[in-house]
Chains A and B, each alone.
Chain A
Amino acid sequence: DGGITQSPKYLFRKEGQNVTLSCEQNLNHDAMYWYRQDPGQGLRLIYYSQIVNDFQKGDIAEGYSVSREKKESFPLTVTSAQKNPTAFYLCASTPTGGTYEQYFGPGTRLTVT
């Protein structure tokens, strides 16, 4: 099956701990994205990567970090500097070549207490 996988589906952490969310795709897409979704709100862009070894900040990058060492993987680290980390995190990818449709993973719900 081709697609985007995110793991785990639910993640619990104590305040002050860093946590890394996994995102893997086997669609051979060049671009990958991380979004945050809060209840009753739309998606807000955290980071994106158009190509391996390169990434850019989105609208709400503070307190987050990413890496893009492989085309198929784009892990997101939620650091202790993120003031309100509890949220639903969505990873997406898109092929290059003039199409803008983003394919989404199933999401990871992170709860920090």
Chain B
Amino acid sequence: GESVGLHLPTLSVQEGDNSIINCAYSNSASDYFIWYKQESGKGPQFIIDIRSNMDKRQGQRVTVLLNKTVKHLSLQIAATQPGDSAVYFCAETTWANNLFFGTGTRLTVIP
């Protein structure tokens, strides 16, 4: 089966700095990727998604980069705020398949 994993389980950044969270995937057939944010004791919230025909997508303060050559995607958060502290998951899927989630990276923003 597919494996989706993150390079670092924890990440600490100063408030106002940019954050970069990385994710590796192993299924080259995956064509859709999502980043979720999960705050403590809550369900995951959608942040941004990207399809395999794109290599970059931007949202509000967030950018997702997809490198299909090395099967890697990253989530960049600009001007990180205390409210960004959470666990971030990447998820992948192929057509008609279910989502496969990584183990998550805990982002801590230091005021």
Q: Which of A31-46 contact B (CB under 8 A)?
A: 33, 35, 40-45
Question: Are B99 and A42 touching (Cβ within 8 A)?
Answer: no
Question: Does B63 make an interface contact (CB < 8 A)?
Answer: no
Chain A positions 89 through 112: 1 when the CB is less than 8 Å from some CB of chain B, otherwise 0: 010100000001111111101000
Question: Are B46 and A106 touching (Cβ within 8 A)?
Answer: no
Question: Does B25 make an interface contact (CB < 8 A)?
Answer: no
Q: How many residues of B contact A (CB 8 A)?
A: 20
A-B contacts at CB below 8 angstroms, number: 47
Q: Using known A-B contacts A42-B102, A58-B98, determine if residue A106 contacts B34 with beta carbons closer than 8 Å.
A: no
Q: Using known A-B contacts A100-B34, A100-B93, A101-B49, determine if residue A42 contacts B101 with beta carbons closer than 8 Å.
A: yes
Determine the chain B residues whose CB is within 8 A of the CB of A102 once the complex forms. Answer: 34, 99
Determine the chain A residues whose CB is within 8 A of the CB of B44 once the complex forms. Answer: 43, 90, 104
- Least CB distance from B33 to A in Å reads 9
Question: Are A106 and B103 touching (Cβ within 8 A)?
Answer: no
- Least CB distance from A64 to B in Å reads 16
Interface positions of A (Cβ within 8 A of B): 4, 6, 33, 35, 40-45, 48, 58, 90, 92, 100-107, 109
Q: Can you offer 10 A-B residue contacts whose CB atoms are under 8 A?
A: A33-B98, A42-B4, A42-B102, A90-B43, A100-B99, A101-B49, A102-B99, A103-B46, A104-B36, A107-B41
